[in-house]
């Protein structure tokens, strides 16, 4: 039984400052950077019970619990991580790290650059999933964690987990990849590119240096978010949620015959877009969508995913959702197939869920049971080793 | 055998001027309007062989042949309409009409308003599919066509054909509805709304009166088109066409690590968006997407589509395409089911085609054979009556 009423409680952000230069995939270097981190549970004596949770596009290090800075801010995966939850903080020491280049406390385009005293803006380098892994590894080093019991993530977070298993095999005992893909399709890249064009062609973008103009390309960012939002849901799901319901019908239930909000779905998307444009950094949106586009571990092995994965020594859990049309089950199956081809150990669950890509964030009993059973097994193996 | 080498040849646009006021669904009135029209083939003595072709979002009255004004401009359904083609102009008198509110010669937001001597702009009323039918009916009246042998269209054009059959049953012998739907879903409306927001929030939109500012909201229109374009294709189709191919790789095949064009799919979408923004009117884009949103003949019958269709006396042909995720086969089947419930006559073909919604414009042998067989039967019935 999952006791979902338990929470990790109030959590403080920790800031890790790194002064050794970080060489990026692009060839550029970041001389110094800060990462915002939260942890839940306790690290055991031999530092063997650490779980790293990697976040997707718009999330952060605030994975679970209530933010000490804002009591209304509940962690984005609070239904997954906590005492008695699938990733049980009574047993595991769980770490959330805000990605380098993001905008929730880690160094990113909106941060002041030490060398200039002004925000990085357009000068902030493009980073890749592999760069994130390298940056996160330093947090593990500082915490004395040589090997994670598990690295786990959904969507873009799943790509990071996969990349950890490939690039630092000796540091990953279990790799949990949820609603993810070994690479974006042309359609995925297409949606990202439209979102980026909406931001970049907004006159308030000022070539990425909008901070100096005391402005924000909020219209572009809002359109970008609206597009993203549609791709996280499904046609059926939206039909169920909104259908063709009118927002505020004219007298006699009539239409207004204009371009204002007419249908509930319009109101919802506009609200989501506007809300997002008030808290998310536009340059970070560009940077993270580009990291998504670039991710393709099989690129170095001539397209051979099995060969790309062959360095990994982790035990894998993969989960996909039937109605996810952004990263459909076929993409997860491709990873499973490559692992099996290498005689690597993989568990795969395809969850029948109606909520599309968003399902990975939702509280679905079958999905959570799969993850809980997997982490129970990890916990048992830790106890045997202890 | 379809002889696709034959064309209707060079065609001139005809302009039909109407001075009787047209009362619109919104309650507003247009006092006078012009419709741009093309015709192919000859109207027979009893005016019984006329076929009206209705166009979708970005098309026009230029259905077939070569435009007299521009020899590079081939009609948008030239593979469907012509001598020896599925809609055979040796037998049928085919009419294309640019919709009221469009931007290819018919009166629309970019037209100069007689009352003011300036472009309509934001003052141009919202029109509906039913308004288009009423406007088109006047063209038929002037041509002396009491009853069409067929009214036909794909996508939004299919909605017009459906509306013709419902609202003017005595004037439609056959109704051909291709890749269409009885109403937009919440997801469909969502994509339209994002496109409209991109246009409306472009500072060059000036509340719809950009003509007075000698400018065009081309960035917003370009983003709108890019979104639309992705929804016309499929994930598989885009994988086949573009995959992850890089446009102009850096030395050693590397990425550029920036936000310029990196992948072929980005280049293609940008090109399509920019091209579209040079020839299409932004207000027309708003107007036509809104007409799509509003279309819902079952709205007046409490959601009962069978009852909404019960006035129709036409014989129906419906065609859908398996990979069309914009208006999937299930939507066409809904229409077929409603017709059968009323004991109305309907032929339905579900074509296995890889090209998504765009398939209705492409030259697919099975698809064209279905349409040709249907029109052959219409032609035979005309000959029997003669």
| Portions of chain B given CATH number 3.40.50.1820 | 10-183+297-385
Q: How confident is the model at residue A3 (pLDDT cuts 50, 70, 90)?
A: very low
Is B273 at the interface with chain A, CB within 8 A? yes
How many residue pairs from chains A and B have C-beta atoms closer than 8 A? 149
User: Taking CB atoms and an 8 Å limit, are B325 and A235 in contact across chains?
Assistant: yes
CA distance B30 to chain A (A): 15
Tell me the average pLDDT across A324-330.
Answer: 98
Nearest one of B51, B30, B78, B35 to B363, comparing CA atoms: B78
Identify the residue with better confidence: A5 or A2. A5
Contact between B193 and A25 using a beta-carbon 8 Å cutoff: no
Q: How far apart are CA B344 and CA B317, in angstroms?
A: 11
User: What is d(CA B140, CA A242) in angstroms, rounded to the nearest whole number?
Assistant: 39
B343 pLDDT higher than 80: yes
Rounded to a whole number of angstroms, the distance from the CA of B312 to the nearest CA of chain A is 24
CB contact under 8 A, A266 and B190: yes
Q: What confidence tier does A5 reach under pLDDT thresholds 50, 70, 90?
A: low
Yes or no: say if B75 and B61 are a contact pair by the CB < 8 Å rule. Answer: no
Q: Are A337 and A316 in contact (CB under 8 A)?
A: no
Point out the catalytic residue in the list A62, A91, A174, A357. Answer: A357
A318: Cα within 13 Å, side-chain hemisphere: 26
At A6, is the pLDDT very low, low, confident or very high (cuts 50, 70, 90)? confident
Quick one: pLDDT band at residue B3, thresholds 50, 70, 90?
A: very low
Q: Are A266 and B235 inside 8 Å of each other by CB? A: no
Looking at CA atoms only, how far is residue A74 from chain B in angstroms? 28
Q: Do A293 and B198 touch (CB under 8 A)?
A: no
Domain A188-288 -> CATH class? mainly alpha
Determine contact, residues B358/B232, Cβ cutoff 8 Å: yes
What whole-number distance in Å separates Cα of residue B376 and Cα of residue B88?
Answer: 9
Contact B268, B237 (CB under 8 A): no
Is A225 annotated to bind a ligand? Reply is yes
Mean pLDDT across chain A:
96
Residue B251 pLDDT > 50: yes
**What local confidence, expressed as pLDDT, does residue A4 receive?**
44
Indicate the residue of B126, B193, B234 with minimum beta-carbon distance to A257: B126
Q: Does A183 touch chain B (CB under 8 A)?
A: yes
* Residues forming a β-bridge with A319: A178, A349
Could you give the percent of chain B with pLDDT greater than 90?
Answer: 96
Residues of A in contact with B202 (CB under 8 A): 219
Chain A touched by B325 (CB under 8 Å): yes
Judge whether B318 and B332 are in contact, CB under 8 Å. Answer: yes
Q: Note if A155 is an active site residue.
A: yes
CB of A193 within 8 Å of any CB in chain B? yes
A207 touches chain B (CB under 8 A): no
Window 230-259 of A, Cβ < 8 Å to B: 230, 233-235, 238-239, 241-244, 255, 257-259
Q: Can you tell me the distance from the alpha carbon of A279 to that of A311, in angstroms, rounded to the nearest whole number?
A: 39
pLDDT value, residue B385: 79
CB A384 within 8 A of CB A179: no
Which residue of B lies nearest to A303 if distances are taken between CA atoms? Answer: B244
Contact between chains at B198 and A223 (C-beta distance less than 8 A): yes
Residues annotated within a binding site of B for substrate: 225, 358
pLDDT at res. B5: 52
Do the Cβ atoms of B226 and A286 come within 8 Å?
Answer: no
CATH 3.40.50.1820 is right for the domain spanning A10-183+297-385: yes
Q: Mapping DSSP to helix (H, G, I), strand (E, B) and coil, where does residue B196 land? A: helix
Catalytic annotation on B67? no
A19 labeled part of a ligand binding site: no
| pLDDT tens, residue by residue, A23-46 | 999 999 999 999 999 999 999 999
Q: B242 vs A186: CB contact, 8 Å cut-off?
A: yes
Instruction: Give residue B114's pLDDT.
Output: 87
State yes or no: pLDDT of A1 exceeds 60.
no
Per residue in B102-134, pLDDT tens?
999 999 999 999 889 999 999 999 999 999 999
Q: What is the pLDDT of residues B188-239, one digit of tens each?
A: 999 999 999 999 999 999 999 999 999 999 999 999 999 999 999 999 999 9
Give the per-residue pLDDT at B4: 44
Q: pLDDT by residue (tens digit) across B40-62?
A: 999 999 999 999 999 999 999 99
A315 catalytic residue (yes or no): no
Range with the lowest mean pLDDT among A250-254, B143-147, B309-313, B315-319? A250-254
What are the residue ranges of CATH 1.10.1740.110 in chain B?
Answer: 188-288
Count Cβ neighbours within 10 Å for each residue of B12-32 and write b for 16 or more, e otherwise.
Answer: ebeebebeeebebbbeeebee
Predicted confidence at residue B49, as pLDDT, reads 98
Checking if the pLDDT of A209 tops 50, the result is yes
A296-308 per-position pLDDT tens digit: 999 999 999 999 9
Looking at residue A274, its pLDDT comes to 98
Secondary structure letter of residue B66 according to DSSP = E
Q: How far, CA to CA in Å, does A5 sit from each of A2, A12, A59, A71?
A: 9, 20, 22, 17
What is this model's ipTM?
0.96
């Amino acid at each position: 039984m999952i006791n979902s009423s338990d929470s990790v409680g109030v959590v403080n952000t920790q800031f890790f400052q790194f002064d050794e230069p970080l060489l990026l995939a692009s060839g550029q270097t970041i001389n110094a950077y800060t990462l915002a981190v939260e942890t839940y549970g306790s690290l055991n004596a031999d530092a063997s019970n650490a779980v790293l949770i990697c976040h997707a596009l718009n999330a952060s290090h605030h994975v679970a619990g209530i933010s000490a800075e804002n009591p209304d801010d509940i962690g984005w995966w609070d239904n997954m991580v906590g005492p008695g939850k699938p990733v049980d903080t009574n047993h595991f020491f769980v770490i959330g790290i805000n990605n380098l280049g993001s905008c929730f406390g880690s160094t990113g385009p909106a941060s002041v650059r030490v060398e200039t005293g002004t925000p990085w803006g357009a000068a902030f380098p493009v980073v890749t999933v592999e760069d994130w892994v390298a940056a996160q590894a330093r947090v593990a080093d500082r915490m004395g964690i040589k090997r994670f019991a598990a690295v786990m993530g959904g969507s873009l977070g799943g790509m990071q987990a996969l990349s950890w298993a490939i690039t630092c095999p000796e540091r990953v005992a279990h790799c949990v990849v949820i609603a993810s893909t070994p690479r974006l399709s042309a359609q995925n890249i297409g949606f990202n590119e439209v979102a980026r064009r909406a931001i970049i062609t907004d006159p308030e973008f000022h070539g990425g240096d909008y901070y100096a103009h005391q402005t924000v390309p909020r219209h572009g960012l809002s359109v970008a978010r609206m597009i993203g939002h549609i791709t996280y849901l499904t046609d059926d799901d939206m039909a169920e949620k909104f259908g063709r319901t009118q927002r505020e019908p004219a007298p006699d239930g009539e239409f207004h015959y204009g371009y204002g909000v007419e249908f509930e779905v319009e109101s919802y998307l506009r609200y989501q877009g506007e809300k997002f444009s008030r808290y998310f950094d536009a340059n970070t949106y560009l940077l993270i969508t580009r990291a998504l586009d670039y991710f393709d571990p099989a690129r170095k092995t001539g397209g051979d995913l099995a060969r790309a994965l062959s360095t990994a020594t982790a035990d894998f859990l993969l989960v996909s959702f039937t109605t996810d049309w952004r990263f459909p089950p076929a993409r997860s199956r491709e990873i499973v197939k490559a692992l099996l081809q290498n005689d690597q150990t993989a568990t795969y669950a395809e969850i029948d869920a109606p909520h599309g890509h968003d399902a990975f964030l939702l509280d679905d009993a079958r999905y959570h049971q799969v993850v809980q059973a997997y982490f129970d097994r990890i916990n048992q193996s830790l106890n045997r080793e202890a």
